[in-house]
Amino acid sequence: MKGIKTKLIKIRFEKLNSLASLFQAIEKKLIQEKKEPLRVILIDLNLKKRESLFLVSFIYERK
Amino acid sequence: MKENKLKNKKFIVVSIIPTGIKCEIGGFIGDATQITNLLASACDYLITNPNAIHAGAFNFKAPNVLCIEGFAIDLFFKNKIGFKLTKKNKIGIIIEKIPDKISLKMTLKTIEAFSVVAGVNVIKIEFIKPLKKRIYRINKQFAGEILNIDPILQAGKNLKKKGATALAITTYIPAKLKDIAMYQKAKVPNPYGLLEALISHSLVKYLKIPSAHAPLLTKEEMDFFLFRSFSSDKRTACENISPSYLGSVLISLNDAPQIVENFEKADIVLSDVEALIVPENCFRGIPVAFAIKNQIPVIEVKENKNIFSSLTHFEFLKTENIFSVRDYRKAYEIIQQLKLREKKYTKNKD
C-alpha cells in the first residue's frame, strides 16, 4: 500500500557544484530511504554551514 | 541535451507559477490567465502548469498555451521526457465517490456540459472509494498526506488500458472552511493546492499520462463559495461562480501534449525551450535548477511576490542567463528580444 507525505528534510553537503546537483542529492537521499520524490522545494540554502533545507513530498510504502 | 529533429523549430517558453505559495498573480484561481496569454502571444507555444490557468468551471487559456502537469514539467527539465502535440485527447475521469450526492451530481452534470458544449471527449469514468487524507501546515505552506493512493493508481491504470490518453481526477480536499475564508481574503496560501498537485504528480509518475486534479466540492463548500463569500478577494472570484472545478481541467486536458520517453517521437524537447519564467524568489524547484544547468535563460518576475524571500547565498546561482524584471510586461519584451535573436541566428545559419 502506497501513501503520500510531506516533510521538511535537511541535507548536508561537502561541495556544491550547482543547484541541479543539490536536487540530485536530495532525490538520491530520498530514494535510498525508499521514498519516491514527488515534489521537492528548496526552502533554505546555507553555504557557510554547508546545509540546505527542503520541503519534500514523497510516496512511501505503508505496511 | 537531446536535439529536436523537427525541421521547423518552434519557439517555446515555459512559465511556472508554483501552487500553494500565495503568489500575487496565480496564487488564487486562474488569476494568472491574462499574463499567461500575454506571454503566449510572443511564442509558438507557452508551457505552463495547471495552477496558472485553471479557474474552476472556467478556462480562458489561449490555444497555444499547453497546460502540463508539474511532475511532467520536472521530468522534462531533467531531459527524461519530451512532449508530443495532440489535437484531442480521450479523457478518462476518476471520481472519488464521497457520500455527498449533490457533489457527485454536479460533477456528472459538468462532464455532460463540457462534452456537449465544448466537445470534450470523455470515454470512461471510474469511481473510487473515499480516501483518507489530511492537510496540515509546514513552514507557512499547506502540506498534505494521503494514507493510501493505490485506488487512484489502479483507477488510472484501468482507464489507460481502456484507451484514455489523459486523466482527470476529482477528489474531496479536506480544507477547513476557516482556512478557505482566510485564503479568500489573501491572508494564507490556497489550502487545496499542494494535495491536489501530489495526486496528479502520482498519476504522471506511474502512468506517464497527462493528468490534472480538480477539488470535489461538498454541498457545504458550494454554499460557502457561491452564497457566503462575496467579500472575497477578486482574484478568487471564479470560486464564487463555480460549483464544480472539473470544467477547467477538462479544457486543459483536451489538447494536453502526450508524454513521450522516446525522443524520436517528441515534437517538443528541452533544447527547444528559449526561456523559463518564474515568480520572484522562486529559484527553488527542479525546472529552475536544470534550466540553469542547461543554459536556458531564467526570467524572474519581481511583481509576482509570494511567501518566499530571497534565498540566503543567492549569489551562488547568479549567471549571465538570469534576468530579473519588474513585471510580466517586461518579461514579454525579453521574450520578444530572444525571439528576434533566434530568428537572426537561424537566418545566418541558413
CATH number at residue B216: 3.40.50
- Please indicate, yes or no, if residue B343 is contained in any of the structural domains: yes
**B189 in Cβ contact with B26 (< 8 Å):** no
The pLDDT value recorded for residue B129 is: 97
Report, as an integer, the average pLDDT of B313-327. Answer: 85
- Please indicate, yes or no, if residue B7 is contained in any of the structural domains: no
Q: How many domains does chain B have?
A: 2
Q: Is the dihedral of CA B138, B209, B87, B270 positive or negative?
A: positive
A62: CB partners within 8 A, 6+ apart: A1, A2, A3, B147, B148
- Please indicate, yes or no, if residue B135 is contained in any of the structural domains: yes
How many Cβ atoms from other residues are within 10 Å of residue B55's Cβ?
24
- CA neighbours within 13 Å on the CB side: how many for B90? 9
pLDDT in tens, A3-54: 999 999 999 988 888 999 999 999 999 999 999 999 999 999 988 899 999 9
CA B281 to chain centre: 19
Q: Return the HEC string of B127-191.
A: EECCCCEEEEEECCEEEEEECCCHHHHHHHHHHHHCCCCEEEEEECCCCCHHHHHHHHCCCCCCC
Q: Are residues B45 and B182 in the same domain?
A: no
Mark which of B189, B219, B254 sits at the end of a domain: B254
Q: Are residues B182 and B324 in the same domain?
A: no
Report, as an integer, the average pLDDT of B324-341. Answer: 96
Which of B292, B278, B271, B268 is closest to B331 using CA atoms?
B278
B36 pLDDT band, cuts 50/70/90, is: very high
Q: Which of B141, B284, B290 sits opposite A42 (nearest CB)?
A: B284
- C-alpha distance from A3 to closest chain B C-alpha (Å): 5
B176 pLDDT band, cuts 50/70/90, is: very high
Mark which of B221, B254, B287 sits at the end of a domain: B254
Report, as an integer, the average pLDDT of B239-248. Answer: 95
- Please indicate, yes or no, if residue B290 is contained in any of the structural domains: yes
Mark which of B228, B254, B280 sits at the end of a domain: B254
Q: Are residues B335 and B214 in the same domain?
A: no
The pLDDT value recorded for residue B139 is: 82
- C-alpha distance from B109 to closest chain A C-alpha (Å): 31
- Please indicate, yes or no, if residue B4 is contained in any of the structural domains: no
B190: cell is 490556497
Q: Give yes or no for residue B7 having a pLDDT over 60.
A: no
- Please indicate, yes or no, if residue B125 is contained in any of the structural domains: yes
Report which DSSP code applies to B316.
G
pLDDT in tens, B192-207: 999 999 999 999 999 9
The pLDDT value recorded for residue B229 is: 87
Q: Are residues B268 and B326 in the same domain?
A: yes
Mean pLDDT over the full length of chain B: 94
Q: Give yes or no for residue B333 having a pLDDT over 90.
A: yes
- Please indicate, yes or no, if residue B1 is contained in any of the structural domains: no
Q: Are residues B296 and B175 in the same domain?
A: no
pLDDT in tens, B98-148: 999 999 999 999 999 999 999 999 999 999 999 999 999 998 899 999 999
B9 pLDDT band, cuts 50/70/90, is: confident
The pLDDT value recorded for residue A16 is: 84
Q: Are residues B176 and B70 in the same domain?
A: no
Break chain A into its structural domains and give their ranges: 2-61
Comparing alpha-carbon positions, the chain B residue that sits nearest to A26 is: B286
Q: Are residues B217 and B111 in the same domain?
A: yes
Interface test mutation site (partner B, options A13, A22, A30, A42, max chain B beta carbons within 10 A): A42
The pLDDT value recorded for residue B1 is: 59
Query: To 5 degrees, how large is the angle CA B59–CA B190–CA B323?
Result: 75
Domain coverage including residue B194: 91-254
Q: Are residues B48 and B110 in the same domain?
A: no
Q: Are residues B160 and B250 in the same domain?
A: yes
Report, as an integer, the average pLDDT of B257-279. Answer: 97
Interchain proximity B139–A8, CB inside 8 Å? yes
- Please indicate, yes or no, if residue B2 is contained in any of the structural domains: no
Which of B278, B285, B289 is closest to B325 using CA atoms?
B278
Among A residues 27-46, those touching chain B with beta carbons less than 8 Å apart: 36, 38-46
